[in-house]
Amino acid sequence: MSSWSRIELRYLSALAAVARERSFSRAAETLGYTQSAVSQQIARLERIVGQQLVERPGGPRPVSLTAAGELLARHAESIVARLASAAADIDALAEGRSGVLRVGCFQSVGVRILPKVLRRFSAAWPQVEVRLTELPDDGGLLAQVEHGDLDLTFMTFPLVPGPFEAVELLDDPYVLVMRAGSEPAGRSSPLPLQLLTGLPLMTYSPLREANLVENRLGRPDLRDQIVFRSNDNGTLLGLAAEGVGAALMPSLSVDPERPGISVLDLDGVPPRVVGVAWHRDRYRIPAADAFVGFCHAVAAEERHARTPAGGSRPPHA
């Protein structure tokens, strides 16, 4: 291990970049180095660890990592991410009540929860700028939390493995959105899942496996009935209103004032659970804790305002 103390961070950064890019030239571009500098750093790292880490085929063929290289690259990514988090911690500590709060969100939360949270947060913390990062799925947002690029993110349980802590905000039941007046849109009771068989369905584009709607419903076989996928809630609702198919969506994703649709509850389907997550090892500025508190308050109001479960919502003309 004494020789390993000579490993410099730039050597590990170079290995991580080569692992991602499979090219010395592209790795050099991402790091702001010359290609020869990256090659030298990898060579020095190989001498220190005493093993070949990168296969160099020459010519236009992509480079590949040896088994030792793949193993060390995983550690390198974690070390680089941890140092990035440490730098973010120092910045947050210096900022105190002012500065920037970086928050990740996805569309349904961005429409129904976030606006009210931001209004209250901005009134209470006027010197803190909230910067939003929006992605269709929480997997990418949680990765940014791990790397120190986000302070908080909205997410859905189950939480992915990683250095995270999270709190639950509210249950978000799954519903079926259909064209008003179509069958079985007129039901007055929750729809049994077996009645979905044979219906043309629409839902979100591929997400992390746990968030796929067909998996959430415990019916992966429904994948064969999905005729359209989109990560835009307005698109799915518009297509449902035109009768292209029935949209399987969480309730938060549905505009209750949208004309031409009927929204049915689903019988026996566990809701998705929406929460907020952060890096458990990072310092959180007081503004981050305040933001989570406002999220709890708005989520409680959303729960209170919901249409009681037990039947279809009335269609809008």
Q: What's the confidence (pLDDT) of residue 19?
A: 92
DSSP string, the chain: -TGGGG--HHHHHHHHHHHHHSSHHHHHHHHT--HHHHHHHHHHHHHHHTS--EE---TTSPPEE-HHHHHHHHHHHHHHHHHHHHHHHHHHHHHTTSEEEEEEE-HHHHHHTHHHHHHHHHHH-TTEEEEEEE-SSHHHHHHHHHTTS-SEEEEEESPPSSSEEEEEEEEE-EEEEEETT-TTTT-SSPBPGGGGTT--EEEPSP--GGG-HHHHTT-GGGGGGEEEE-S-HHHHHHHHHTTS-EEEEEGGGS-TT-TTEEEEEBTT-PPEEEEEEEETTS---HHHHHHHHHHHHHHHHHHHHSPPSSSPBPP--
Cross-strand partners of 248:
176
Within a 10 A sphere around the Cβ of 197, how many other Cβ atoms?
A: 10
pLDDT band at 303 (very low <50, low <70, confident <90, very high): confident
Question: Between residues 183 and 148, which one has the greater pLDDT?
Answer: 148
* Interval 77-103: pLDDT, tens: 889 888 888 887 777 666 665 678 999
* Interval 167-205: pLDDT, tens: 999 999 999 999 988 876 666 788 888 888 899 999 988
* Interval 229-281: pLDDT, tens: 998 999 999 999 999 999 999 999 998 778 899 999 999 888 999 999 999 98
State the average pLDDT over residues 41-62.
89
Cβ burial 211-250 (10 Å sphere, 16+ → b, else e): bbbbebbebeebeebbebebbebeebbbbbbeeebbbbbb
Task: Please indicate, yes or no, whether the overall pTM of this predicted structure exceeds 0.75.
Answer: no
Q: What's the confidence (pLDDT) of residue 33?
A: 92
What's the length of the chain?
Answer: 317
Q: Name the packing angle between helices 286-305 and 114-124 (round to 10°).
A: 140
CATH number of the domain located at residue range(s) 99-317 in this protein: 3.40.190.290
Q: What's the confidence (pLDDT) of residue 314?
A: 44
* Interval 57-78: pLDDT, tens: 877 778 899 999 999 999 998 8
Which residue type does 190 have? Answer: P
Calculate the average pLDDT of the chain. Answer: 87
Which range has the worst mean pLDDT, 47-51, 137-141, 185-189? 185-189
CATH number of the domain located at residue range(s) 3-88 in this protein: 1.10.10.10
| The pLDDT of residue 284 is above 60 | yes
Share of the chain above pLDDT 70, in %: 92
How far apart CA 108 and CA 156 sit, in angstroms, is: 12
Would you kindly state where each structural domain of the chain is located, as residue ranges?
3-88, 99-317
Q: What's the confidence (pLDDT) of residue 317?
A: 38
| The pLDDT of residue 311 is above 50 | no
State the average pLDDT over residues 33-45.
93
